Amino acid sequence: MPNYRAPQIHSSEITPEEVWQSRRYWMKAAGASVLTGAAAGWPSIGGAATLPSLEATVSKRFFTMEPRTPEKDAASYNNFYEFGLDKGDPVKHAHRLQTSPWKLRIEGEVVSPKTLDIDDIRKLAPLEERTLRMRCVEGWSMVIPWIGYSMSELLKQVQPTGNAKYVEFITDVQPKNMPGLSSRAIQWPYNEGLRLDEAMHPLTTLVLGMYGKILPNQNGAPVRLMVPWKYGFKSAKSIVTIRLTEKPPVSSWMKALPSEYGFYSNVNPEVSHPRWSQATERRIGEDGVFAPKRKTLMFNGYGNEVASLYTGMDLRKNY
């Protein structure tokens, strides 16, 4: 890994595990109604109930029988630092995000670079509803019915060259609309990366909606990534550029905290974050203040599908 220097980050800009766990506890204790997915004092979904519907065929291949996270929880408890560092900040502020018009540029080591608008992207391949687990590095998880299709469908349109080995995802920057950009926690714009074979895997999903509707702004509208076997920060939101490269991109969190965040970031219960264990997780929306934590599954439970991508690799070293 290159020797990048981490910028000075104030402790107030990083939410410790015990803070968000405590916040969740007191929100539950204050009278949250988990049966309806409502939490006392939480902001509204921000218009999600009135978002346009997005028709999709239910995927039989990418589906779990686990209970879905209540839509209100999934749309109200988010990491989207462009709108603030607290989990409730995105739903408060993301209504300011301008999602139309929207252009997505695919460039770099490709034969046919393209710029697509959101309508082009939605029509590129048949839309599927994929009910997938999402695991956050902070120790919480959700099960969400995402709407989209495999990222490979998009990448095939630009014909990667023989030099293309990696894919970088760059998100939008709207200084007037994103109050979180004032934070020095990370460098903007936010960027993430995958190996090309990871990006081309059928599970890697280009997401355009959730819960039968187009994406709410706070969840990464109008187009985001979902890589369910990796920690959530790998799934970039509000993407404006996809760049195929010969060398591995250095992601925003690798620049900010290289001792804590590596390129691969596969869900691995045996590799602890330097400040907390990854062995267990809290499923957002599950009944009961004192509901026991779940055991974290290797590759977030998708080992049968993706373990072969890492044959022979030391996943402790390649974290």
Residues 6+ apart with CB under 8 A from 82: 171, 173, 174, 178, 180, 181, 188, 190, 238
pLDDT-based confidence at residue 42 (cuts at 50, 70, 90)? very low
Q: Which residues of 216-241 are buried (b: 16+ CB within 10 A; e: fewer)?
A: bbbbbbbbbbbbbbbbbbbbbbbbbb
Distances (CA, A) of 71 to 23, 106, 171, 281: 20, 31, 24, 19
pLDDT-based confidence at residue 49 (cuts at 50, 70, 90)? low
What's the pLDDT tens digit per position in 243-285? 999 999 999 999 999 999 999 999 999 999 999 999 999 999 9
Q: What is the pTM of this model?
A: 0.85
Distances (CA, A) of 55 to 40, 70, 213, 238, 282: 32, 20, 8, 21, 31
Mean pLDDT is lowest, of 39-43, 72-76, 129-133, for: 39-43
pLDDT at position 288, please?
59
pLDDT-based confidence at residue 87 (cuts at 50, 70, 90)? very high
Could you tell me which residue, 70 or 47, shows the higher pLDDT? 70
Q: What is the DSSP string of 187-200?
A: -SS-EEEEEHHHHT
What's the pLDDT tens digit per position in 103-120? 999 999 999 999 999 999
Strand order in the sheet with 166-171: 114-117, 103-108, 239-245, 166-171, 191-195
Structural domains for the chain: 23-310 (3.90.420.10)
- 155 three-class SS: helix
Asked if 106 and 116 touch (Cβ cutoff 8 Å), the reply is yes
Asked if 88 and 77 touch (Cβ cutoff 8 Å), the reply is yes
pLDDT at position 185, please?
85
Length, in residues, of the chain: 319
Average pLDDT over residues 200-221: 98
CA angle 183, 185, 190 (to 5 degrees): 90
Phi then psi dihedrals of residue 75, to 5 deg: -95, 0
Asked if 178 and 82 touch (Cβ cutoff 8 Å), the reply is yes
